[in-house]
Amino acid sequence: MSILLGVDFGLRRTGVAVCDAGGTLAAPLEIIDIRRQSTDAVQRIVRLANEYEAEGIVVGLPINM
């Protein structure tokens, strides 16, 4: 399997996590403060994806909130 990033967008903060290559364990990477500009968050996520050589990004969809 490949490494994936998990992204949970929020109005004030965006959480980013990474899973191991086996796809069994996810660990938090960082929380991005997006109150300044949301483009900063996107650029940071792209940098993290490149740094961890992620082959995909999974975006959370909070349907019960």
Contact between residue 14 and residue 41 where contact means Cβ atoms under 8 Å apart: yes
pLDDT the model gives residue 23: 82
**Global pTM value:** 0.82
Residue 17 sits at φ, ψ, to 5 deg, of -130, 160
Residue bearing the bigger pLDDT, 51 or 34 = 51
Contacts of 58 (CB under 8 A, 6+ apart): 4, 5, 6, 7
In this predicted structure, the answer to whether residue 2 has a pLDDT above a threshold of 90 is: no
What is the arithmetic mean of pLDDT over 24-39?
85
